[in-house]
Amino acid sequence: MAAVDASVPPDVFLAGPRHCVQSRNRLCTAYDAGTIFVCDIVYAELTPGIP
């Protein structure tokens, strides 16, 4: 199981210029290895940025 930090989804889904490729690759690697987990606190941090 891999926990996703709040900085990863914006990098991946909004094409953050600093770490997009690295974040996407690490997220894909974690997905291929098993379960990806987003905890409640990370979800709460991300929710205000979703229209």
Span 1-38, pLDDT tens digits: 889 988 888 888 776 677 788 888 888 999 999 989 99
Looking at residue 16, its pLDDT comes to 62
d(CA 8, CA 26) in angstroms, rounded, equals 9
pLDDT at 31: 92
**How would residue 46 be classed by pLDDT, with cut points 50, 70 and 90?**
confident
- All residues at 6 or more sequence positions from 10 whose CB lies less than 8 Å from its CB, including other chains: 16, 46, 49
* pTM for the structure as a whole: 0.69
Determine the pLDDT at residue 6. Answer: 87
Q: Which whole number is the average pLDDT over 35-43? A: 91
